[in-house]
Structure 1
């Protein structure tokens, strides 16, 4: 690809654009991770993380990816042969259940159509039928990055409680934390999984588990093998401001700055901004005469929008044209959606003009690809942005 003037538009659903002030924070000199300055950084950082998760309990920070944080959630709470209920909401829910099976867990996979979130009713039905209480955990992806569908976690918790079943609730918030309203404690979540590279506005490299008291109790008897992912030594070292191994110090600098940015804007305002950008994007898609993949108006993602292409049109060809002509990256369709959809990321460090430019680039790319659309889609989206 030839060199192009101007900035690259990174509009995939993560990694997201890293703000300049976060990049500057990351570039600071590394300090002694056994010294008092680092202990002060860790203590302040862990306290600042809790409101983002909506918890008063511990948040474990790993040098690793969201996939590693998936594994940590499983190995700290479960034992070989335990039965877990995973819900098929898309590509990443599928990968998480494959990991669980690979770790030696017995997986019930509740099927889904990739257009809807996890069904509270279906989960309750499975748990109610489990009279022997063999299901030890329910695993749900809050915001399915491959589909742009957000599951209704509070309703899932209520449905679980109504059955009286003691299963743990494990929730993946990798593409929702810091972008979509989320409340670990209030919603009765036992382990919340997250990563650094999306709503937290950092490069990849940090994974997170927010942990309930019930999950901590389960970790004391869990027998899946673990070492690096073990919560106990990290939580113990964190009490003194340290980690049991070399931490990703410079990413922690960046995290501290990103948390300051979220605090300064205010989490309610952050969520409202994402909601508004998502609404404008869906307005554009429908104005073009195309279809949003998410089929339930209660479950639209505020982090990304998945656009379903008309029959006979190749979504990857559209993405290729947009990258070559306008230097903009869009998310590909994953798994069984490959070639059928493209995904517009609108999360993290994003403002109205960036979204307007993104939607303009998508509209031009669709036209260049020969997709028949109504060009009024962009104008309709701008009307949403203008009407704040």
Structure 2
């Protein structure tokens, strides 16, 4: 590639841009993870996470990617041969299903079209059929990063309750936590899975399980092997502010700063900011004459927008040209969407000027790649933002 000047625009839907405050926090000298100062810091972090997850119960932190938190949620609550009900919302729901199968679980996948969220009515119908309660858990991705489609978690919870089914509810919030409204306790979630590299504005490397009392009770009889992921060992150590093995100390510095930044802005304001930037992005897409992948307005993501390119145009070619000419990275299409869509990330430490620069890069990239489009997408976004600041 040619020499690039200026700031690289990282506009993928995660890892998101890490703000300077968090970078400076991570840059602190590593402390003794068995010393008293560490215990004070980790207790502060564990308490602060309650406000981020919307929970009163424990949140466990692993030095791992979100995939590790997927595994931890399953192995702590289930036994070999247990059935889990999942919904095909996109690439990451598919990967979670594959992981469940590798663990010896029987993963049942309700089919979806990758343009809508999980269907609560379909899940309720399937649970009503399960009169013997063979299904032990329902697993849903809140914000499907591959498609820009969200699932209505509160409605899924209501569907489980209407069916009178005792299954645990597990929710992947890896790309939504800290960016979109999420309420672990209010929505009756048993295990919430999350990662550090999206709305929490950190580099990759931390993952989380927020757990209910029902999930804790299930862990007592679960028989899948677990060692590194064991909740019991974590909870015992966390009670005094420590970990059963060496934690990612410097990332925890950053996490403490990230929680402080979210608290300073206020979670409601964080969600409103993301919603505003997402709507501006969708208005730009429509002004270009292109199509948003998500087909249901109430399921639009505030984290990213996946954009369909016209037939005969390769989204990966467009992305390559945009990167080479304008030093901006956009998300690629995953799985069956490869080459068909590009994804604009608008999450984390993001403001209006950053978004307008991003959309200008997309509009110039469309022209450079010869993708048919109308002009004026950036202007449509600015018009909206000027009226909704």
TM-score band w.r.t. shorter chain: over 0.9
- 2:167, 2:317 → 1: CA distance? 44
Partner of 1:12: 12
Q: CA deviation at 1:371?
A: 1.2
Deviation track 1:267-296 (CA, whole Å, cap 9, x = no partner) reads 000000000000000000011000000010
Deviation, 1:107, is 1.1
Which aligned pairs between 1:217-236 and structure 2 lie closer than 5 A?
217-236=217-236
Which residue of structure 2 lines up, in the alignment, with residue 2 of structure 1?
2
- Bigger shift: residues 32-41 or 371-380: 371-380
* Structure 2 CA distance for aligned equivalents of residues 289 and 39 of structure 1: 54
Root mean square deviation of aligned Cα: 0.5
User: Take 1:3 and 1:321, find their aligned partners in 2: how far apart are those partners?
Assistant: 15
Post-superposition offset of 1:368? 1.0
Q: What secondary structure does 1:298 align onto?
A: helix
2: CA distance between counterparts of 1:290 and 1:214?
A: 45
Taking the TM superposition and a 5 Å limit, the aligned residue runs for 1:128-277 are 128-277=128-277
Post-superposition offset of 1:137: 0.2
Aligned residues: 388
Partner of 1:339: 339
CA distance in 2, matches of 1:299, 1:311: 25
Structure-1 separation of matches of 2:370 and 2:249? 48
- Provide the residue aligned with 2:352 in structure 1: 352
Tell me the secondary structure at the aligned position of residue 295 of structure 2.
coil
CA distance in 2: counterparts of 1:281 and 1:12, whole angstroms: 14
SS at match of 2:62: strand
- 1:241-300 Cα offsets, whole Å, 9 max, x none, are 100000000000000001100000110000000000000000000110000000101100
Which residue does the alignment assign to 1:29?
29
- Structure 2 distance, partners of 1:170, 1:4, is 43
Deviation of residue 2 (structure 1)? Answer: 2.0
1:98 & 1:192 partners in 2: Cα distance?
19
Q: Distance in 2 between matches of 1:216 and 1:243?
A: 18
Counterpart residue number, 2:293: 293
Superposition deviation, residue 5 in structure 1: 1.6
Separation in 2 of the partners of 1:355 and 1:376? 15
Match of 1:330 in 2: 330
Alpha-carbon separation, structure 2, partners of 1:25 and 1:141: 31
Q: Secondary structure at the match of 2:297?
A: coil
Matches within 5 A, 1:8-87: 8-87=8-87
Q: Secondary structure at the match of 1:220?
A: helix
Other-structure match for 1:108: 108
Alpha-carbon offset, residue 90 of structure 1 = 0.1
Note the C-alpha offset of 1:378: 1.5
What TM-score, normalized by structure 2, do the two folds share? 0.99
Quick one: distance in 1 between partners of 2:17 and 2:321?
21
- Aligned partner of 1:366 in structure 2 is 366
